[in-house]
């Protein structure tokens, strides 16, 4: 069965510092992978997605993620964090369930940004 693990429940970084949020997945075939962001009191917003091709994908708000098949990982990165990036981040994998688009979400990582 597909699963997603985000090992870090909570991360604190200083504003301007680089960021990497970890995501590991379990999936038999080539996965469809996603990162979503949830700001306080808001719904989830898609940051970026990987379906195939270039393993380094660019998203909105200056985020990028790299798909590494050998490590079953899809880590999210940002070179310089802004205070507005404080939010909860979810990694997700597309489940093979008849193409209805079901996603399996990780437990989320809460990012705190220090001034």
Shortest Cβ 52–other proteins spacing (Å): 12
- Measured CA to CA, the distance from residue 70 to residue 7 in angstroms comes to 18
> 3-state class of 48 per DSSP?
strand
Torsion from C-alpha of 30, 9, 89, 20, nearest 10 degrees: -70
Shortest Cβ 21–other proteins spacing (Å): 16
**Nearest to other proteins of 48, 81 (CB atom):** 48
Q: Which two tokens stand for residue 65?
A: 């993620």
Shortest Cβ 31–other proteins spacing (Å): 10
Q: Give contact residues for other proteins (rule: CB under 8 A).
A: 32, 34, 36, 42-46, 49, 90, 94, 97-103, 105, 107-108
**Nearest to other proteins of 22, 49 (CB atom):** 49
**Nearest to other proteins of 44, 86 (CB atom):** 44
Shortest Cβ 80–other proteins spacing (Å): 26
**Nearest to other proteins of 47, 81 (CB atom):** 47
Helices (H) and strands (E) in the chain, counts: 0, 12
Q: What does the buried/exposed string (b/e) look like for 19-35 if buried means 16 or more CB atoms within 10 Å of the residue's CB? A: bebbbbbebeeebbbbb
């Amino acid at each position: 069965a597909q699963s997603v693990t985000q090992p870090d429940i909570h991360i604190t970084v200083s504003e301007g510092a680089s960021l990497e949020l970890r995501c590991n997945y379990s999936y038999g075939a080539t996965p469809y992978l996603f990162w979503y962001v949830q700001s306080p009191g808001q719904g989830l917003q898609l940051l970026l997605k990987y379906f195939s091709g270039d393993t380094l994908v660019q998203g909105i708000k200056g985020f990028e993620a790299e798909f590494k098949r050998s490590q079953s990982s899809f880590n999210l990165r940002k070179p310089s964090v802004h205070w507005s990036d404080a939010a909860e981040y979810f990694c997700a994998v597309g489940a093979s369930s008849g193409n209805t688009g079901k996603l399996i979400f990780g437990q989320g990582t809460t990012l705190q940004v220090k001034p």
